[in-house]
Structure 1
Amino acid sequence: MSMTPVLSARQERIVEILRATPSITTADLALRLGVSGETVRRDLQAMADDGIVQKFHGGVSLHRDVQESPFQLRLRSNVAAKRRLAQQVCALLPDGASIVLDNSSTACFVAEALAARHGLTVATPSLEVARALAQSGDRHTVMLPGGTLRSSDMTLAGANALRFATQLHPDYLIVSVASLSARGGCLDFDPFEVEFKQAVHPHAGTVIVVADASKFEAPGLITSLPWTSVQVLVTDRALPDELARAAQGVRVVVAEETVEG
């Protein structure tokens, strides 16, 4: 029986790079990741065996099926780290709070962790996040916008969803991002995701960004949140010096890996 592949943080980064750069040579990929060509080739062989990438002479690209369903792949990526971060976020939130969750794969893990809590009101543009919360029955109130369903990641997107976002005044806005950048703040690629975050954050009591260490200076295109708009960053490793200086006004909570004896 074939198992669903689980990607390492570096393999997830390879997917992000290939999404931004449709095809790339193995040498360029090794340079971008700061690892040896041998290490990249080993990663790519495992990913090719799982049908995630397709190799061609001198280079590599995402498999066509993966390009069509990147969200399902992200739900399988770096799972242990995302679960650990989700539990840390859950510990920061009181029962009865009002929360906005974005449409990231990390938000799905946060929703799973929150399902056991009581009396939350959660607004989200993501049907996947709503489904994770609905597992707890009527314990929480879940609000979804109107809008056009984007089947690639089951997000309700478009003008109606953004109008809904501008009307929200949550205690907490909890989001993930494509990149944590010293120069650019929190970066994303998708214009709707950027606009959604920008529509909610001015009215949110506390903005919590959840991102593992693979997002430190990762590729990103558009600033969704400047550092001055973020109150809490939940991550799994201490920030490198330049990033720590840029985020010095932010409370950084490190969810360290627990070592089982």
Structure 2
Amino acid sequence: MNSNPRQLQLVEVVRARGSVSVEALADQLGVTLQTVRRDVQRLADEGLVVRFHGGVRLPGSTTQNLGHQQRVSLHAAGKAAIARAVASQVPNDCSLLINIGTTTEAIARELLGHKGLRVITNNLNVAAILSPNPECEVIVAGGVVRARDLGIIGEPAIDFIRQFKVDIGLIGISGIEADGSLRDFDYREVKVAQTIIECSREVWLAADHSKFNRPAMVQLATLAQVDRLFTDQAPPEPFPQLLQDANVRSMVAPP
């Protein structure tokens, strides 16, 4: 594609942030909204970006997630900020269910200084991170270990988790769509996460800014099933109203 330097910079901004509003692009590039919209349309026609209401994101599969190591490094500063914010709100002497995801793994690292925790997880990475903490009892669900990220999935994991009722369910997610649905890629992973929601007195969602308007194939839940959201940037439209309507408490923790 014969892009001009501004359009190449636009693609780099979207690549760095995952998704971004048209207004933010105009501010960063120092051009008008009309110019950004023309650039976005041209880039979208070439398949380099995808438009959504009020913004733009990178093209992505709705059926397959990125690799685990790629997700660890992607938006790492934002995930670290989210993890610190979540850990600051988790009290000592409480019980938690923690699901699969690189953001929940970052949260586990921030919980190493907590005392009196009982953590049930289907994420072997979370278990390995928390196991050095002598003040934390870690319980691992049984089931099939998914080799690419050491997540545990399947009916045995669901049956095991159903034995518990915990104070807080900490869940990560692959995408939050503009209808308020929370989505992921593996229906087996989704079934376990749905069970975590059912078995938690409060549900806390940890999602960096790139998850907003990111499509994925399988619906896990809706925002109405979430009590608190932790993210690293103010959610774009239409999510502020959706969060308010769903009575979700939001905490933005900038990197």
Q: TM-score range by the shorter chain?
A: 0.7 to 0.9
| Bigger mean CA deviation after superposition, 26-35 or 213-222 | 26-35
Q: Which residue, 76, 81, 97 being the options, matches 1:79? A: 76
Q: Which amino acid is the alignment partner of residue 239 of structure 1?
A: P
TM-score, L = length of structure 2: 0.75
Could you tell me how far apart the structure 2 residues matched to 1:61 and 1:188 are? Answer: 13
Cα deviation for residue 165 of structure 1 reads: 2.0
TM-score, L = length of structure 1: 0.74
2:147 is the alignment partner of 1:128: no
Q: Which runs of 5+ in 2 are unaligned?
A: 1-12, 20-43
C-alpha deviations, 1:128-177, integer Å up to 9, x for none?
110110132x2200000111211111112211111112222110000111
Could you tell me how far apart the structure 1 residues matched to 2:103 and 2:157 are? Answer: 20
What SS is found at the alignment partner of 1:83? helix
Could you tell me how far apart the structure 1 residues matched to 2:219 and 2:116 are? Answer: 33
Identity %: 29
Residue 93 (structure 1) aligns with = 90
Q: Which residue, 41, 48, 60 being the options, matches 1:29? A: 48
Q: Which amino acid is the alignment partner of residue 81 of structure 2?
A: R
Could you tell me how far apart the structure 2 residues matched to 1:183 and 1:97 are? Answer: 33
Larger relative contact order (Cα-Cα within 8 Å, sequence gap ≥ 6): 2
Alpha carbons of 1:146 and 1:35: their partners in 2 closer, same or farther (altered >3 Å)?
Answer: closer
What SS is found at the alignment partner of 2:128? helix
Alpha carbons of 1:253 and 1:186: their partners in 2 closer, same or farther (altered >3 Å)?
Answer: same
Q: Which residue, 63, 67, 71 being the options, matches 1:70? A: 67
Q: Contact (CA 8 Å) 2:65, 2:185: kept in 1 or not?
A: no
Residue 114 (structure 1) aligns with = 111
The count of residues paired between Structure 1 and Structure 2 equals 214
Q: Contact (CA 8 Å) 2:206, 2:230: kept in 1 or not?
A: yes
Q: Contact (CA 8 Å) 2:180, 2:242: kept in 1 or not?
A: no
Residue 255 (structure 1) aligns with = 253
2:233 is the alignment partner of 1:237: yes
Q: Which runs of 5+ in 1 are unaligned?
A: 1-7, 15-24, 41-59
2:29 is the alignment partner of 1:10: no
* 1:43-58 matches, cutoff 5 A: none
Residue 137 (structure 2) aligns with = 141
Q: Which amino acid is the alignment partner of residue 253 of structure 2?
A: A
Q: Contact (CA 8 Å) 1:9, 1:78: kept in 2 or not?
A: no
Cα deviation for residue 250 of structure 1 reads: 0.3
